[in-house]
Amino acid sequence: AQTVTQSQPEMSVQEAETVTLSCTYDTSESDYYLFWYKQPPSRQMILVIRQEAYKQQNATENRFSVNFQKAAKSFSLKISDSQLGDAAMYFCAYGDNYGQNFVFGPGTRLSVLP
Amino acid sequence: EPEVTQTPSHQVTQMGQEVILRCVPISNHLYFYWYRQILGQKVEFLVSFYNNEISEKSEIFDDQFSVERPDGSNFTLKIRSTKLEDSAMYFCATIRTSGIAGEQYFGPGTRLTVT
């Protein structure tokens, strides 16, 4: 069974600075998807970024980028120029080759300090 | 932009009562999911549903739970006899098709409080 680990329960970053959230996963599959979801206090799940495992190029989405290391099974999220609105829980998630059968990590709570 | 909707946003019920949580998927989406998130914990998969039947379910999804798509639009999760430990956020998610479409669209969630 697939597992997702986020080793940082809490992180903080100064506004306008850069922060990296860690995620590791375990799977025996070669094709799969990885996602980062943001959950603000409203508790809605918002997709931040996704990565297809067959793509070597790291995904980027404006201020958000990932460092995908397939061999190491690592998928970290970098947030550049952090803003107060970035404060939230961030969940790393694994989806199988069909984008289904999601497994979520335990989450990292990110605080942004003014 | 199309979105998944869920009703109610908050449901309070007494232990032992039945609750039905409703989800309206994005119109051309074919795969539907329910997840649960107990306060302060991670999101847990409950069940997936495709072509009017359950395709996969977790250990959490016991006989107290059922899902259906009664009218071709709503996708419902029923808990027959609620327990205190059923208190959680329940998220519906949908996906258009399998394969490279890749991502699940989450609804805003229903907060269920069992007293």
DSSP β-ladder status, B65-68 and B75-79: antiparallel
Q: Sorting pLDDT into bands at 50, 70 and 90, what band is B89?
A: very high
Q: Sorting pLDDT into bands at 50, 70 and 90, what band is B101?
A: very low
Picking from A103, A51, A37, A82, the residue whose alpha carbon sits closest to that of residue B58 is A103
For residue range A54-87, what is the model confidence (pLDDT) as tens digits?
888 999 999 999 999 999 999 999 999 999 999 9
**CB contacts, 8 Å: A99 with chain B:** 95, 98-104
Q: Sorting pLDDT into bands at 50, 70 and 90, what band is B29?
A: confident
Q: Do residues B110 and B7 lie in contact, with contact meaning Cβ atoms separated by under 8 Å?
A: yes
Tokens, residue B97: 């098709």
Give mean pLDDT, residues A28-48.
88
Instruction: Give φ, ψ of A32 to 5 degrees.
Output: -170, 175
Q: Sorting pLDDT into bands at 50, 70 and 90, what band is B100?
A: very low
Hey, is the C-beta of B111 within 8 angstroms of any chain A C-beta? yes
Q: Sorting pLDDT into bands at 50, 70 and 90, what band is B92?
A: very high
**CB contacts, 8 Å: A33 with chain B:** 102-103
Test mutation, A39, A42, A44, A100, chain B, max B CBs within 10 A:
A100
Give mean pLDDT, residues A84-101.
85
Strand partners, B62: none
How high is the pLDDT of residue A89?
95
